C-alpha cells in the first residue's frame, strides 16, 4: 500500500483485517464515535450515555463493601458525579487529591446514591495549561491485536488526503438517480465525513448513524450484499437443469392413498414447484410455512415427480433423528409405489452406507435422506435431479451451494427446494435468501386447535410434576419434557436429561418415562421414537434434539424446562411438536426466576400467540438478525455500517436498484461487490 510508515509487520496486521489497498482502508469504517469536542456539565449527565466531563475533586476515599473500591467525587458547580475504581494502586489513590482538577471519559450509570462512571479514562488537569478539546469526533475502528486506534487514525488521515488530492482514486458507483432522489452526498464526501467528521458535523446524527453520509454508505453496502446473492442466482440459473415433467402415474396414486386432502395453500405451493421443475434452469425456491403447516408432504410430491422422470432425489436435514424420521415416513409412503428410499447419516453402519452409496452411483432413481454426510467425498450422485433441504436455517448459503455443486452431473445442476423450519422475518429473507424465489404456506391443515401455553416459576416444580401426572393419567395423553442448557454443549445437555429422567421416574410411578438425547446410538434413538409413537412411553424426556421436525400427533403436552434459556424461534419450533392431534394441547414453560426483561418478553410472546410469522418478527426485534438464523454461517453477512434491523426499510428500494444495475450496468456490479466484500467474497467458487 502506497502510504508512508507501513512496514511488513503493520501490513501483515492490516492484511489480517482485510486491508490490502487504500480503498480497503477507506472502506474500513468506524463502528462508533467518541465525542471529545465538548465537555458536558455534570448537572446534565444522564445514565446510559457516554460523557466527557471535567471537575474538581471533592473527596477521595476507599470504600469497603462487598467489593473494595476507590470512590472519587468530583463537581463542577452544576452538579457532581462519582468516579469508581475497583482496581487501583496506592499512587493512583494519592494522585486523586482533593482540589485537583480532572478530566474523564466513560459511560455514566446509576450508582447507589448518585450517577457514577466506573473506571473512566482520565487525565489530571492543570488549569493554567488546559487540555484542548478535540476538533472533530474521534472515530473508533474495528481492529486487531497490535493495531492501536491512533495508528489506524493516522493511516486514515493519509488515505483521506490521497483521496482528496486525487479524486480518481475512488469511483462513484451508485446510480446518479439514487443520489439525487435520496439527496445523498458523493462517495468522496461521504467517506471524508464519516472518517473525519468536521467541527460543524451534526454529532448526534452521526452517533445515531442516520446522517446522509452514513446513509450513502449504508445503501451501497446493502446493495453490495444484494448484488452478490443476485449474481449467484444468475450464475446458477445460467446452468442447465433437467426438465422434470408432470407425473402421470406416481402422484395420482400417492394422492389417492393419502389419508388427507391437501390444503389450498399446499396445492398452490405444489403448482409453483412443479412449474419450476418443468424448466431447464434450476429451481431455487424457499418454501416457508409455520410449524405443522405440512411441508413434508410437499417435499414428497416434488420427490415423486422427480423420481417418475428417472432422476435421484436428495433430502438433507440437520439432525440424525430427523433424518431417521423422514426416512421412515418416506419409506412408508413410497413403499407400495416401489420407490427405493435410503438413509445416509454419519453414524450409520458401514454396510448400510456402502449399499446406499452403491445405489447412488449406479444411476438408480432413488430417494436418499441424510444429514451433512451427504457432502462427503465418497458420495457420488450419478443423476441427482432435486435437492430438498429441510429446516433450512441450520444450513448456510455455502452448504446450499456445495450440495448442488456435488449433484452436478456432466453439465446439469439439480433443482433445489429449501424448506424453513419456522417462518423467517421478511427482512432476513430479503438479505440472506435474496438468491431464492419464495413461496409461503399461509394456512394450517383444518381442525388444528391452538396450543394453550402457560408459564411457571421453577419454585412450583413439585406442583407442576403432580399436575402433569394427573393430566397424563386422566387424559391418556403423551408428553415431552424438554431439557435445555445455557451452553450448547451437547454432552452437558445429555447429562441433565439423564438426571431429569431419573428424577421424574421416581416421582411419577404408573407412568412410563423414556429418554432420548443426541449421544444415543441411531438404533437406540429409533427404538425410543418407535416406543413413543406406539404409546409404550408416556413421557419422553428429551434434549433439544427433538426441536426440529418430529411428528407424533398423540403428544399433546410439552414441558420446557428452563425455557428462559431459549430464543423465540427455538421455543416456537419445540412447541410445534404438539398441537398436531385432535385434542387441545398444552405447553408449560418452566423458568428459573427471576426472569430478566428480555426473557420475560419472550415467555410472554409465547403465551399470547401461536403465530409463527408474528413470533419471527418479535424474535428479530429482540435478538437482531445475526442471531435469528442460528449460526453465523447461515448467510447473514457481517456488515460494516448497515444494520439490518435499523435499515430494513431500505431493502425494497435496494433490491430494485440491484436488479437494474445487473441489467444496465453489469461492469459496476463487480466493482461494488469487490469494494465491500473484498476477498471474503468467494460464493462463486465454493
Ligand atoms: P411441517 O410443515 O412442520 O414440516 P409436517 O409436514 O410435519 O409439518 O406436517 C404436520 C402434520 O400435519 C403431519 O402429521 C402431516 O401428516 C399432517 N398434515 C399435513 N398436511 C395435511 C393436510 N392437508 N391435512 C391434514 N393433515 C395434514
Ligand atoms: Mg417439517
pLDDT tens digits, 209-224: 888 999 999 999 999 9
Is 294 close to ligand 1, i.e. is its CB under 6 Å away?
yes
Tell me the three state secondary structure of residue 185. Answer: coil
Residue 487's pLDDT band, with cuts at 50, 70 and 90, is low
pLDDT above 90 for 451: yes
Q: Fold match between 250-441 and 452-609?
A: yes
pLDDT above 60 for 390: yes
What pLDDT shows up at residue 419?
92
Residue in 317, 292, 322 with CA at minimum distance from that of residue 525: 322
Report the nearest atom of ligand 1 relative to the CA of 297: 6
Which of 300, 445, 546 to mutate for ligand 1's pocket (most ligand atoms within 8 Å of CB)? 445
- % residues pLDDT > 70 (the chain): 93
What pLDDT shows up at residue 686?
31
Is 1 close to ligand 1, i.e. is its CB under 6 Å away?
no
Residue 445 Cα to ligand 1 midpoint, Å, equals: 7
C-alpha cell at 523: 438404533
pLDDT above 60 for 682: no
When the pLDDT of each residue in the chain is averaged and rounded to a whole number, the result is 87
Is 242 close to ligand 1, i.e. is its CB under 6 Å away?
no
Residue 391 Cα to ligand 2 midpoint, Å, equals: 7
CB atoms within 10 A of CB 376: 13
pLDDT tens digits along 407-442: 777 778 899 999 987 788 887 787 778 888 999 999
How many CA within 13 A on the CB side of residue 54?
Answer: 16
- Phi and psi (nearest 5°) for 539? -125, 120
CB atoms within 10 A of CB 22: 19
Respond yes or no on whether the N-terminal peptide bond of residue 594 is cis (omega within 30° of 0).
yes
More confident residue, 571 or 403: 571
Residue 534 Cα to ligand 2 midpoint, Å, equals: 20
Of 155-164, 179-188, 214-223, 513-522, the poorest mean pLDDT is in 513-522
pLDDT above 90 for 475: no
What pLDDT shows up at residue 196?
87
Angle between helix 320-335 and helix 522-533 axes, rounded to 10 deg:
60
Domain extents in the chain: 8-33+139-208, 39-132, 250-441, 452-609
Is 573 close to ligand 1, i.e. is its CB under 6 Å away?
no
Residue 624 Cα to ligand 1 midpoint, Å, equals: 30
pLDDT tens digits along 51-84: 999 999 999 999 998 889 999 999 999 999 999 9
Which of 53-62, 282-291, 381-390, 617-626 is predicted most confidently? 53-62
- % residues pLDDT > 90 (the chain): 47
According to DSSP, the residues that pair with 83 across neighbouring strands are 72, 117
Is 263 close to ligand 1, i.e. is its CB under 6 Å away?
yes
pLDDT tens digits along 294-340: 999 999 999 999 999 999 999 998 888 788 889 988 999 999 999 99
Which of 268, 294, 390, 391 to mutate for ligand 1's pocket (most ligand atoms within 8 Å of CB)? 294
pLDDT tens digits along 7-26: 888 888 898 888 888 888 99
Neighbours of ion ligand 2 (CB under 5 A): 549
CB atoms within 10 A of CB 208: 11
Question: Tell me, which fold does domain 452-609 have in CATH?
Answer: Rossmann fold (3.40.50)
More confident residue, 565 or 683: 565
- The answer to whether 655 touches 434, Cβ cutoff 8 Å, is yes
Residue 283's pLDDT band, with cuts at 50, 70 and 90, is very high
Is 260 close to ligand 1, i.e. is its CB under 6 Å away?
yes
C-alpha separations of 321 from 91, 371, 662 in Å: 62, 10, 43
Which of 270, 292, 319, 442 to mutate for ligand 1's pocket (most ligand atoms within 8 Å of CB)? 292
Is 292 close to ligand 1, i.e. is its CB under 6 Å away?
yes
Of 21-25, 133-137, 671-675, the poorest mean pLDDT is in 133-137
Architecture field, domain 250-441: 3-Layer(aba) Sandwich (3.40)
Q: Please name the residue whose Cα sits nearest to atom 5 of ligand 1.
A: 294
Residue 584 Cα to ligand 1 midpoint, Å, equals: 17
- The answer to whether 604 touches 591, Cβ cutoff 8 Å, is no
Q: Please name the residue whose Cα sits nearest to atom 12 of ligand 1.
A: 294
Q: What is the DSSP string of 669-685?
A: HHHHHHHHHGGG--GGG
Residue 591's pLDDT band, with cuts at 50, 70 and 90, is very high
Distance CA 372, CA 322 (A): 12
Mean pLDDT of the region 383-410? 77
Architecture field, domain 39-132: Beta Barrel (2.40)
Of 324-328, 550-554, 589-593, the poorest mean pLDDT is in 550-554
Residue in 527, 531, 530, 498 with CA at minimum distance from that of residue 515: 498
Shortest-distance ligand to the CA of residue 294:
1
pLDDT tens digits along 222-269: 999 889 888 888 888 888 999 999 999 999 999 999 999 999 999 999
Residue 633's pLDDT band, with cuts at 50, 70 and 90, is very low
Residue 549 Cα to ligand 2 midpoint, Å, equals: 4
Q: What is the DSSP string of 207-220?
A: HTT-SHHHHHHHHH
Amino acid at each position: 500500500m502506497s502510504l508512508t510508515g507501513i512496514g511488513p509487520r503493520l501490513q501483515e496486521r492490516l492484511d489480517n483485517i482485510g486491508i490490502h489497498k487504500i480503498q480497503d482502508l477507506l472502506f474500513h469504517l468506524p463502528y462508533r464515535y467518541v465525542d471529545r469536542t465538548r465537555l458536558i456539565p455534570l448537572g446534565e449527565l444522564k445514565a446510559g450515555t457516554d460523557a466527557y466531563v471535567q471537575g474538581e475533586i471533592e473527596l477521595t476515599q476507599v470504600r469497603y463493601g462487598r467489593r473494595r473500591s476507590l470512590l472519587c467525587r468530583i463537581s463542577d458547580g452544576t452538579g457532581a458525579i462519582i468516579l469508581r475504581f475497583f482496581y487501583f494502586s496506592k499512587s493512583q489513590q494519592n494522585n486523586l487529591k482533593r482540589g485537583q482538577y480532572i478530566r474523564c471519559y466513560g459511560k455514566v450509570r446509576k450508582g447507589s446514591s448518585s450517577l457514577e462512571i466506573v473506571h473512566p479514562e482520565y487525565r489530571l488537569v492543570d488549569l493554567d495549561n488546559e487540555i484542548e478539546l478535540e476538533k472533530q469526533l474521534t472515530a473508533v475502528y474495528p481492529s486487531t491485536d497490535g493495531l492501536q486506534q491512533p495508528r489506524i487514525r493516522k493511516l486514515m488521515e493519509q488515505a483521506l488526503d490521497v483521496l482528496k488530492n486525487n479524486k480518481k482514486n475512488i469511483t462513484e458507483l451508485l446510480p446518479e438517480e439514487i443520489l439525487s432522489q435520496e439527496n445523498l452526498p458523493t462517495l468522496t464526501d461521504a467517506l471524508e465525513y464519516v472518517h473525519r467528521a468536521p467541527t460543524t458535523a451534526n454529532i448526534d446524527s452521526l452517533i445515531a448513524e442516520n446522517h446522509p453520509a452514513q446513509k450513502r454508505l449504508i445503501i451501497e453496502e446493502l446493495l453490495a450484499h444484494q448484488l452478490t446473492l443476485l449474481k449467484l442466482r444468475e450464475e446458477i440459473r445460467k446452468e442447465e437443469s433437467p426438465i422434470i415433467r408432470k407425473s402421470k402415474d406416481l402422484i395420482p396414486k400417492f394422492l389417492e392413498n393419502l389419508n388427507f386432502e391437501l390444503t389450498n395453500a399446499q396445492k398452490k405451493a405444489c403448482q409453483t414447484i412443479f412449474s419450476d421443475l418443468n424448466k431447464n434452469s434450476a429451481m431455487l425456491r424457499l418454501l416457508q410455512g409455520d410449524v405443522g403447516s405440512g411441508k413434508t408432504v410437499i417435499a414428497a410430491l416434488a420427490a415423486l415427480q422427480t423420481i417418475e422422470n428417472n432422476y435421484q432425489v436428495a433430502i438433507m436435514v440437520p439432525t440424525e433423528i430427523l433424518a431417521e424420521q423422514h426416512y421412515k415416513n418416506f419409506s412408508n409412503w413410497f413403499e407400495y409405489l416401489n420407490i427405493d428410499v435410503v438413509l445416509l447419516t454419519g453414524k450409520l453402519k458401514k454396510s448400510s452406507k456402502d449399499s446406499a452409496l452403491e445405489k447412488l452411483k449406479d444411476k438408480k432413481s432413488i430417494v436418499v435422506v441424510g444429514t451433512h454426510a451427504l457432502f462427503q467425498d465418497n458420495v457420488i450422485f450419478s443423476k441427482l435431479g432435486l435437492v430438498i433441504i429441510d429446516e433450512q436455517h441450520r444450513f448456510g448459503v455455502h452448504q446450499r451451494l456445495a450440495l448442488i455443486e456435488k449433484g452436478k452431473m456432466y453439465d446439469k445442476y439439480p433443482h433445489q427446494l429449501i424448506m424453513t423450519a419456522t417462518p423467517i422475518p421478511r427482512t432476513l429473507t430479503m438479505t440472506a435468501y435474496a438468491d431464492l424465489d419464495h413461496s409461503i404456506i399461509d394456512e394450517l391443515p383444518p381442525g388444528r386447535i391452538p396450543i394453550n401455553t402457560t408459564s411457571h416459576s421453577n419454585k412450583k416444580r413439585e406442583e407442576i410434576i403432580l399436575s402433569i401426572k394427573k393430566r397424563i393419567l386422566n387424559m391418556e395423553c403423551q408428553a415431552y419434557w424438554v431439557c435445555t442448557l445455557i451452553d450448547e454443549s451437547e454432552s452437558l445437555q445429555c447429562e441433565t436429561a439423564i438426571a431429569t429422567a431419573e428424577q421424574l421416574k421416581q416421582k411419577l410411578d404408573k407412568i412410563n418415562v423414556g429418554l432420548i438425547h443426541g449421544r444415543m446410538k441411531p438404533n437406540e434413538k429409533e427404538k425410543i421414537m418407535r416406543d413413543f409413537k406406539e404409546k409404550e412411553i408416556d413421557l419422553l424426556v428429551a434434549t433439544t434434539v427433538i426441536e426440529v421436525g418430529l411428528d407424533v400427533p398423540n403428544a399433546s403436552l410439552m414441558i420446557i424446562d428452563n425455557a428462559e434459556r431459549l430464543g423465540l424461534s427455538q421455543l416456537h419450533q419445540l412447541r410445534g411438536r404438539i398441537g398436531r392431534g385432535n385434542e387441545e394441547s398444552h405447553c408449560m414453560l418452566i423458568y428459573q426466576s427471576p426472569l430478566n426483561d428480555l426473557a420475560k418478553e419472550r415467555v410472554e410472546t409465547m403465551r399470547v400467540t401461536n403465530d409463527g410469522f408474528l413470533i419471527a418478527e418479535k424474535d428479530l426485534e429482540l435478538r437482531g438478525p445475526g442471531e435469528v438464523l442460528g449460526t453465523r454461517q447461515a448467510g447473514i453477512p457481517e456488515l460494516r455500517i448497515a444494520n439490518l434491523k435499523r435499515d430494513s426499510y431500505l431493502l425494497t428500494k435496494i433490491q430494485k436498484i440491484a436488479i437494474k444495475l445487473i441489467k444496465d450496468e453489469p461492469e459496476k456490479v463487480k466493482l461494488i461487490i469487490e469494494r465491500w466484500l473484498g476477498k471474503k467474497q468467494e460464493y462463486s467458487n465454493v
